[in-house]
Amino acid sequence: MKIGVYVCECGSNIADTVDTEEVADSVKLLPNVAVSRVYKYKCSDPGQELIRQDIEEFGLDKVVVAACSPSMHEPTFRAVLEDKGLNPYCLEMVNIREQCSWVHADKDKGTDKAVSLVKGAVMRSELMEPLDRKKVGVISKALVIGGGIAGIQAALDIANSGFQVTLVEKKSTIGGKMAQLDKTFPTLDCSQCILSPKMVDVGRHPNITLYANSEVKQVDGYIGNFKVKIKRNPRYVIEDKCTLCDDCVPVCPVIVHDEYNENLSPRKAIYIANPQAVPASYIINPDNCLGIEPLICSKCRDVCGPEAIDFDMREEIIEDEFGAIVVATGYETYPIENIGEYGYGTIQDVISGLEFERILAANGPTAGLVRRPSDGRIPQTVIFIHCAGSRDPAKNLSYCSKICCMYATKHALQYKHHVHSGLAVNFYIDIRTGGKDYEEFYKRAAEEENVIFIRGKVSEVLQDGDRILIKGVNTLTAETIEMHADMVVLATGIQPSEGTKEISNLLKLSRDMSGFVKEAHPKLKPVETSISGVYIAGTVSGPKDIPDVVSHAGRAAIRSINILAQKELEVEATIAKVNDVLCRGCGMCVDSCPYGAIELKAIDRYGYTFEIADVNAAVCKGCGTCAATCLNGAIDQLGYTDSQILSLIKALADE
């Protein structure tokens, strides 16, 4: 075995505080070291060339580079080895810049430490083995979970690139929360008008299979090869036959709250979520309907001309395989009844932001007229309370929900547009208008349209006759405020949806302190997750406004296409490996594996059947937890084997 050792001076970065010559000399006499050199810039072209020449001249089979952190130049030097036909895993990097020269000003101590680190690396490299990166095939189909604007955008972007997409939505229609909005800030575009064309595109796209009223129930497999079970809940209306004639609705005797209008209006047991719904078909809610087991009423079926209603529809499990998954399960509004002092739930005219959105909407419960829920009067004074739930680490959400400042400002502005004589007052902690044209929008509301902004929190909201009494404080003037209003709108914060929790448990995605799905890197990998091949789009990873969601979803689509466009994928080589002879099949590694990459398989040995551990190379991420768990030392992590680490320990702990 011949090892080449290269000590980099990194200009003066290393050489100033580490005696590089001494480091290089210290390992020259070790057995197996064929050559040990110092070079000024090892990562430069001539520096790399030197290694290439030595590999040829000395026939090196292992290379140790003592330079900067492996996170910096490990790929560079691995490529050098590959150039010359060596296995890239026969490289060992020693970090004598970040760990020696930059942090230890004392040259003797720094040099001592560098010498022992390099010796350790040489001893470890003696035990290194060439490793193969395994290849797995890719199924060029994507699964998008969640049909809000994020899921819609991701599905369309993937489908437009020519790949098949399956979009699964829990509700009866896609569109999500955005379909409930009246207008969007800062342009005051009608939300439905910009969303519905995209929804229709999804419904019609030849590459998109849409499963509405369905849920993802099980996900197995790994990047490129996910096996997914989707449960399609019965709609009781045959989508293709329904002509949207609306004959069934008047005859239905069951009246319940309409979720689409935030329970402010009634609907029937057979209904369509909204006129723009995709898939464009009515649906029967089995919890409301009297026709489903037992069949008490069948009035809708009797009047249905095209015979679209089928009470015998059963749920269906669809099994399919996908190469990549986009999770776009979105958010839900914070349960503001938790904030007792605001009186939501006990005072009728205290409503949430989303409820006000429905009241403003032309297709909402009041047909676009601003009327308060209690008596239907047009409110003359409306108070908008910002941060309802957000930025309150003691009791509610600790984070800023990002969108509420803007939508509360928008609400106030829209109210003023509807009720010209009305008074709109906003209570805020801070106004956060980070976004294109947002500050201008806020300025317009405050300066041109006479929306009043008071800096301070509301401490109490009380019913006072048929009006509402607000107690608060103006923190800029340090005055307490008591004022009456006809209606109070809470700028509700947002939190991860139930679906986000369920799906992240199903896919084993890690979540942050607030429950949102965590990105692989908060800055540079905003759509990647801890699981390769699973990407996140939209508010599933934290509060976002619509433009952010659309661009986020676009990147999730691109990252999925990166996977789908490949014939096969290379997976990391430093994975777990089982020694069949030592393994006694206790299964402790199976339990310890965070990814379910290890299974017990039966093998035949000397005519007996044994169970031993078996690692799925495509699923294993190479954390090595199993190797530390195994009592027999039967499972080891390639590239970080027990013997390699022990030899390092021996070298580093040695006097």
Partner 1 sequence: MKDFEPKIIGFLCTWCSYAGADLAGTSRIQYPSNIRIIRVMCSGRVNPMFVVNALQQGADGVLIGGCHPGDCHYQHGNYQARRRITMMKKLLEFLGIEPDRVRMTWVSAAEGRKFAQVIEEVTEDIRKLGPMKQVRRKNEW
Smallest separation (angstroms) from partner 1 to the CB of 562: 21
- State yes or no: residue 283 binds partner 1 (CB under 8 A): no
Query: In terms of CB distance, is 221 or 624 closer to partner 1?
Result: 624
Q: How far apart (Å, rounded) are the C-alpha atoms in residues 556 and 536?
A: 6
Min dist. Cβ of residue 513 to partner 1 (A): 7
Shortest distance, CB of residue 124 to partner 1, whole angstroms?
Answer: 9
574 binds partner 1 (CB under 8 A): yes
Identify the CA nearest to 496 among candidates 260, 263, 328, 325: 328
Applying CB under 8 A, the span of 64-72, 297-305, 373-381, 546-554 interacting with partner 1 comes to 64-72
390 in Cβ contact with 445 (< 8 Å): no
Q: Is residue 447 at the binding interface for partner 1, with CB under 8 A as the rule?
A: no
With contact defined as beta carbons under 8 Å apart, do 270 and 250 qualify?
A: no
Among 12, 53, 71, 632, contact with partner 1 (rule: CB under 8 A):
71
Does residue number 41 form part of the binding site for partner 1 (CB under 8 A)?
no
d(CA 68, CA 101): 10
How far is 118 from 97, CA to CA, in rounded Å? 12
Cβ at position 327, least distance to partner 1 in Å: 16
Please report how close the Cβ of residue 556 comes to partner 1 at its closest, in angstroms. Answer: 20
d(CA 212, CA 239): 11
Size of the site for partner 1 (CB under 8 A): 50
CA distance 605 to 601: 12
- The β-bridge relationship of strands 164-168 and 208-211 is parallel
In the complex, the smallest distance separating the C-beta of residue 107 from partner 1, rounded to whole angstroms, is 11
DSSP codes, 275-344? TT-SS---EE-TTT-SSSSS----HHHHH-TT--B-TT---EEEEEEESEEEE---EEE--GGG-GGGTB
Kindly report the CA angle at 619 between 618 and 623, in degrees rounded to 5? 115
Site for partner 1 in 595-614 (CB under 8 A): 595
Count CB-CB contacts under 10 A for residue 133.
15
**Is the bond into 522 cis (omega within 30 degrees of 0)?**
no
Nearest residue (CB) to partner 1, 201 versus 512: 512
* Closest distance to partner 1 from the beta carbon of 515 (Å): 11
Measured from the CB atom, is 29 or 653 closer to partner 1?
653
Interface with partner 1 (CB under 8 A), residue from 161, 288, 592, 616: 592
Restricting to residues 218-247, name those near partner 1 by CB under 8 A: none
Q: Of 370 and 627, which CB lies nearer to partner 1 in the complex structure?
A: 627
**104 vs 467, beta carbon nearer partner 1:** 104
Q: How far is the CB of 649 from partner 1 (least distance, A)?
A: 5
Residue 649 near partner 1 by CB under 8 A: yes
Distance CA 41, CA 57 (A): 21
In angstroms, give the least distance from the CB of 113 to partner 1.
Answer: 5
Closest-CA residue to 502 (of 484, 488, 515, 490) = 515
Closer residue to partner 1 (CB): 123 or 230? 123
Q: Closest distance between partner 1 and the C-beta of residue 501, in Å?
A: 15
DSSP for 161-179, please give it: TT-EEEEE-SSSSS-GGGG
- In this structure, are residues 390 and 374 in contact, taking their beta carbons and an 8 Å threshold? no
Q: Between 293 and 655, name the residue whose CB sits nearer to partner 1.
A: 655
Using an 8 Å Cβ cutoff, are 162 and 208 in contact? Answer: no
In this complex, which beta carbon is closest to partner 1, that of residue 450 or of residue 510?
A: 510
* Distance from C-alpha of 533 to C-alpha of 210, rounded to nearest angstrom: 21
According to DSSP, the β-strands at 62-67 and 3-8 are: parallel
Binding mask 470-509 for partner 1 (x = CB under 8 A): --------------------------------------x-
Tokens of 101: 């020269």
32 binds partner 1 (CB under 8 A): no
Site string for partner 1, 3-22 (x = CB under 8 A): --------------------
Shortest spacing between CB 143 and partner 1, in angstroms: 21
Q: Does 1 bind partner 1 (CB under 8 A)?
A: no
Give the pair of three-digit tokens for residue 146.
Answer: 């969640």
CB of 621 to partner 1, least distance (A): 6
Of 112 and 169, nearer to partner 1 (C-beta) is 112
Question: Segment near partner 1 (CB under 8 A), from 44-52, 96-104, 452-460, 489-497?
Answer: 96-104
Site for partner 1 in 97-126 (CB under 8 A): 97-100, 102-106, 109-110, 112-113, 116-117, 120
Residue 510 makes contact with partner 1 by CB under 8 A: yes
Residue (70 or 373) nearer to partner 1, CB: 70
Cα–Cα distance for residue pair 563/141, rounded to 1 Å: 10
112 or 548: whose CB is closer to partner 1?
A: 112
Burial readout 487-526 (b: 16 or more C-beta within 10 A, e: otherwise): bbbbbbbbbbbebbebbbebbebebeeeebbbbbeeeeeb
Burial of 183-198, coded b for 16+ CB within 10 Å and e otherwise, reads bbbbeeeebbeebbeb
Residue 134 has what DSSP assignment?
Answer: P
Other CB atoms within 10 A of residue 321 CB: 14
Beta carbon nearer to partner 1, 438 or 516: 516
Residue 367 vs 646, nearer CB to partner 1:
646
- Residue for token digits 């010359």? 84
Residue 187, phi then psi, degrees to nearest 5: -95, -10
According to CB under 8 A, which one of 20, 36, 48, 95 is a site residue for partner 1?
Answer: 95
Q: Which is nearer to partner 1, 572 or 611 (CB)?
A: 572
Given a contact cutoff of 8 angstroms between Cβ atoms, the answer to whether 325 and 533 are in contact is yes
Q: Is 645 in the site for partner 1 (CB under 8 A)?
A: yes
Binding mask of the shown chain, residues 512 to 531, with x at each position contacting partner 1 by CB under 8 A:
xx----x-----------x-
Residue 47's H or E segment, with its range, is helix 45-58
Of 364 and 526, nearer to partner 1 (C-beta) is: 526
> For binding to partner 1 (CB under 8 A), which residues are involved?
69-71, 95, 97-100, 102-106, 109-110, 112-113, 116-117, 120, 508, 510, 512-513, 518, 530, 574, 592, 594-595, 621-625, 627-629, 637, 640, 642, 645-646, 648-650, 652-655
